[in-house]
Structure 1
Amino acid sequence: MMQPSNLNTNFLPSPNCNSIHRCKDSSARQSPDISYVYQVSQENTTSSSGSQVDRGVSGSIPRHNSQDIIEDSTATTSVDNEPEELGFLPVLKNRNFLALWSGQVFSQLADKVYLVLMIAIISSRFQASNQSISGWVSAIMMAFTIPAVLFGSVAGVFVDRWSKKAVLVVTNLLRGGLVLAIPVLLWMTQDWNAVGSLPTGFAILLALSFLVSTLTQFFAPAEQAAIPLIVERRHLLSANSLYTTTMMALVVVGFAVGEPLLAIADAVTMQFGSEIGKELVVGGSYAIAGCLLMLLKTGEKERRFEQESPHVWQDLRDGFQYLGKNHRIRTALIQLVILFSIFAALAVLAVRMAEVIPGLKSSQFGFLLAAGGVGIAAGATLLGQYGQRFAAIQLSLYGSMGIAGCLIGLAIFTENLLLVLLLITLLGGFASLVAIPMQTAIQKETSPEMRGKIFGLQNNVINIALTLPLALAGVAETFIGLQAVFLSLAAAAIAGGILTWYICRTET
């Protein structure tokens, strides 16, 4: 689809236009013919400009009149004559991004500790003394996965129609309320008969997990769509780097401190004769995130749609057609799917690696995965500081080649603990060179009125893609061996990098 005429949408700079300073004059000469109007918030940008948005695929994308205004910082192409600030500093000066970022910290911390909470409740209430907990935990994980597959794309359609701020606030407050309701619901149903073969209390946990995950499907695309609304286009790479660094840090922190944190909370509430500390920590984190996000100002104006029910399936078709027309978004999405598939397979293969490495047990595979998280966080930090100097396609190609090299190294040095830890750490760093520029490219290239649909489709496709490696990696390792699987993943990484480079070079 044709992009707004006054937007510099190329995430691969052309030889004659390497920076926004050199392109601004030519882009500013375009005269706006407005069908959508994007008004730039003075809090986030220093100038504003009208933009023309393509009328959509066969006229099927919802149209608004000129009174429907969305403030969007990505519409800005002109910049001050002052030297441009790079790195994290200009992003951290943005009060709206700080509100979104702080909300992300509490929300994602609650997401990570939620599973620890479920395991704690299961082990204390439902697991028999001689019974494995794996079956109980697998059921909870299934309750989380199903909404991602069913509602990921549909949620994005509604996010486009609703206020991003409202979605972020309401989903966090509702998730907090559901978690805080767990002790009450378990107490009320403790004497109820089993639902089929399941204890009633566990059936309630499954239902609540399903609802929490469903709300998360709305929260995720709204969060991604809000970032380009509050961050200037030239700072999106730094914002996404900080976002990714925080996410990976919370993965490590959440799983590492989750159990002792919940134990301390229970010990505190026990002094008052109650054991609701665990639920207060998780539910309270969601609630705090919702309150912090109330401070967010996305600059969205009220959008007046015709009084009709949402055309969900038509909007989904619009999203797929938009992907079909925009090769850069589609290519970036393919790269992300390949990357997440590799990491999903690595999560399964890490168990086998821990089993064959001398001095490690299979239950200690988390140390190997933590090394990857450290690498991603380190790579994202460096990328946020210095990544603006490079084209996104260069970073993606270098990252793909680096990932392939690390996977080949893992195939060779499978039983050497120090080299395996080093290679997985490097693999995480190279992965950040692919994930962050590609996510930034999707944000830059997607028109504001299509972001919810595209990010919803992205979450849905990635969640579906993750299930295949999780199911097939272990089987493939059994039949063809660990080394052969790593080499196959390396080939996939190389193919993804070359495909992205080729498509973007031929279209630029």
Structure 2
Amino acid sequence: MGQEIATQSDMKMARPLFTRAFVMLWIGQAISVLGDFVFETACVLWVGAVLVPGRSWTPLAVSGVLFAAAIPSFLFGPIAGVFTDRWTKRRTILLMDGIRALLIGLLTLTTGVISFPFLPHGKLPVIWQLWILYIVVFLASVCTQFFSPARMTISQDIVDEVHRVRASGLAQTTTSLGAIVGSLLAAPLVFTAGVSWTLLIDALSFGISFLSIILARLPEEPSPQVTYNNFLNEFRAGAHFLITHRVLRTALIAMCIVLFSGGIDNTLSLFFATQNLHLTPALYGVLSSASGIGLLVGAAIIVIIGKKMNAATLFGVGILLLGTMEAIFSRQTNIVPALLILSIQGILNAALNVAFGPLVMNATPREFLGRVFAFLLPAMNLATMISTLITGYLVSTVFQGLHLVIVGMIVGPIDGLMMFSGLLIFFAGLYVLLQLRGI
């Protein structure tokens, strides 16, 4: 009863969610996320369908884009977290948006939009264009490693604890819409307006994000009280805080398990669709659409009822039910129930994604937030990469042709690993609920 009265009192004293600062940052995020998805899809199309189409090494060239975007998370993520905690957050995100806008803007010069008189036919050789693209994608991703934790700290500053689940729901809704709309827009833009205009649109999205930050009138930040010669001590302090804090350690372990299992699903989803659900490859995208719709619906529901939700409970229950649905999904042989289950999984994915940010923010002091997020994200990405490699190896070698009968059920390598994935997630949910009781 006392806790309930305290919570009601906190809600009365809290600032409204839709302050000028929050609305401007939300608008900037919406435009920037849309631009990001347009850029990612456009880069893949530019390389695979324009620069080097139909060659034996085209898949390798396309994978180079994805690799260039992913590797900075491991090389610079934790390091960026230390510096983000030192620096002024507003200045950091303005600088990173400005650099990314400049990088993408300069990249348009390599698309043939201008003629280079000192080069044959006035164009850069294809191999130069590829390497410049990889370098720009790499540098833009480095900027993201600084931008993301700084933006999370600003969100902690401008959104009171009672509103953070709703705010996270809005962010998830924005990201889901950005993924859907951006992916749909990219191909028509590339093949009608051209690559150069597509890249300029992404550069403009960073410019709009930059302007929204200026217009947000963010509150004054406390001056960082640090000595600039103790980088390793700060690095260790961030890692120690993350590992020894019960809430953060639980969130890290649970999300690594969920994303390890997600790597299994991502690797096997096409084969499950064709072999277990008996779909043609052309219909494979229907499965992603069902999950995407569920993700959007789940985020929208949480935006509406987010005030009544406890982040820790939402996180644990979401993971527990997600694992249950994954285990059920692994037994499906018909597309109709499979689509329904995937939609429910999308809703549950939205729940745990929305809860994760507020759970971490509520548990982390401002001076550690940059480092905590900068350690969390690479660890989760690493879990996905490891499971992808292990799953591909097992299905291609050890488990090839394997068929077992378990409690009267015939289990093959694809559905067996997906059921194992569901059980892992289920027990991760139990672990969260046990560890975070009373929070």
1:408 aligns with 2:340: no
Selected match of 2:201 from 266, 275, 281 = 281
Bigger drift between 124-133 and 135-144 goes to: 124-133
Secondary structure at the counterpart of residue 301 of structure 1:
coil
Alpha-carbon distance change, 129 to 304 in structure 1, aligned in 2, over 3 angstroms: closer
Bigger drift between 279-288 and 209-218 goes to: 279-288
How far is the alpha carbon of 1:358 from its aligned partner? 6.0
1:17 aligns with 2:3: yes
Give me the whole-angstrom Cα distance separating, in 2, the residues matched to 1:502 and 1:419: 31
Alpha-carbon distance change, 362 to 312 in structure 1, aligned in 2, over 3 angstroms: farther
Selected match of 1:439 from 357, 370, 378 = 357
Alpha-carbon distance change, 17 to 398 in structure 1, aligned in 2, over 3 angstroms: same
Q: Let me know the Cα RMSD of the aligned residues.
A: 2.7
Alpha-carbon distance change, 16 to 325 in structure 1, aligned in 2, over 3 angstroms: farther
Asked if the contact 2:327/2:423 (under 8 Å) is kept, the reply is no
Selected match of 1:423 from 341, 345, 351 = 341
Corresponding residue for 2:377?
459
Corresponding residue for 2:416?
484
Asked if the contact 2:51/2:126 (under 8 Å) is kept, the reply is no
Asked if the contact 1:377/1:429 (under 8 Å) is kept, the reply is yes
Amino acid at match of 1:120: L
Give me the whole-angstrom Cα distance separating, in 2, the residues matched to 1:453 and 1:437: 19
Secondary structure at the counterpart of residue 4 of structure 2:
coil
Query: Where in structure 2 are the equivalents of 1:215-226 lying within 5 Å?
Result: 215-226=143-154
Corresponding residue for 1:4?
none
Asked if the contact 2:321/2:426 (under 8 Å) is kept, the reply is no
Identity within the alignment, %: 22
Corresponding residue for 2:167?
239
Give me the whole-angstrom Cα distance separating, in 2, the residues matched to 1:390 and 1:110: 31
Asked if the contact 1:335/1:438 (under 8 Å) is kept, the reply is no
Bigger drift between 94-103 and 325-334 goes to: 325-334
Corresponding residue for 2:272?
353
1:105 aligns with 2:37: no
Bigger drift between 242-251 and 337-346 goes to: 337-346
Corresponding residue for 1:3?
none
Amino acid at match of 2:204: G
Give me the whole-angstrom Cα distance separating, in 1, the residues matched to 2:140 and 2:179: 18
Query: Where in structure 2 are the equivalents of 1:328-347 lying within 5 Å?
Result: 328-347=247-266
How far is the alpha carbon of 1:365 from its aligned partner? 3.0
Corresponding residue for 2:288?
369
Corresponding residue for 1:169?
94
Alpha-carbon distance change, 297 to 472 in structure 1, aligned in 2, over 3 angstroms: farther
Give me the whole-angstrom Cα distance separating, in 2, the residues matched to 1:329 and 1:312: 22
Selected match of 2:132 from 204, 209, 219 = 204
How far is the alpha carbon of 1:217 from its aligned partner? 1.0
**Which ranges of structure 2 fall in alignment gaps of 5 or more residues?**
403-412
The structure where helix makes up a greater share of residues is 2
Asked if the contact 2:38/2:198 (under 8 Å) is kept, the reply is no
Aligned residues: 419
How far is the alpha carbon of 1:337 from its aligned partner? 2.3
Corresponding residue for 1:386?
305
Corresponding residue for 1:158?
83
Query: Where in structure 2 are the equivalents of 1:313-332 lying within 5 Å?
Result: 313-332=232-251
TM-score, length of structure 2 as denominator length: 0.87
Corresponding residue for 1:79?
12
Alpha-carbon distance change, 78 to 111 in structure 1, aligned in 2, over 3 angstroms: closer
Alpha-carbon distance change, 462 to 304 in structure 1, aligned in 2, over 3 angstroms: closer
Give me the whole-angstrom Cα distance separating, in 2, the residues matched to 1:251 and 1:245: 10
How far is the alpha carbon of 1:438 from its aligned partner? 2.8
Alpha-carbon distance change, 153 to 191 in structure 1, aligned in 2, over 3 angstroms: farther
Give me the whole-angstrom Cα distance separating, in 1, the residues matched to 2:277 and 2:85: 52
Selected match of 2:211 from 291, 297, 312 = 291
Q: Does 1 or 2 have the higher relative contact order (CA < 8 Å, sep 6+)? A: 2
Alpha-carbon distance change, 160 to 464 in structure 1, aligned in 2, over 3 angstroms: same
Secondary structure at the counterpart of residue 344 of structure 1:
helix
Alpha-carbon distance change, 435 to 129 in structure 1, aligned in 2, over 3 angstroms: closer
Amino acid at match of 1:456: A
Give me the whole-angstrom Cα distance separating, in 2, the residues matched to 1:179 and 1:469: 32
How far is the alpha carbon of 1:236 from its aligned partner? 0.6
Secondary structure at the counterpart of residue 3 of structure 2:
coil
How far is the alpha carbon of 1:128 from its aligned partner? 4.6
Asked if the contact 2:320/2:428 (under 8 Å) is kept, the reply is no
Alpha-carbon distance change, 260 to 125 in structure 1, aligned in 2, over 3 angstroms: closer
Give me the whole-angstrom Cα distance separating, in 2, the residues matched to 1:444 and 1:331: 14
TM-score, length of structure 1 as denominator length: 0.76
1:179 aligns with 2:110: no
How far is the alpha carbon of 1:310 from its aligned partner? 4.9
Alpha-carbon distance change, 431 to 276 in structure 1, aligned in 2, over 3 angstroms: closer
How far is the alpha carbon of 1:386 from its aligned partner? 1.8
**Which ranges of structure 1 fall in alignment gaps of 5 or more residues?**
1-14, 25-76, 267-274
Give me the whole-angstrom Cα distance separating, in 2, the residues matched to 1:215 and 1:392: 29
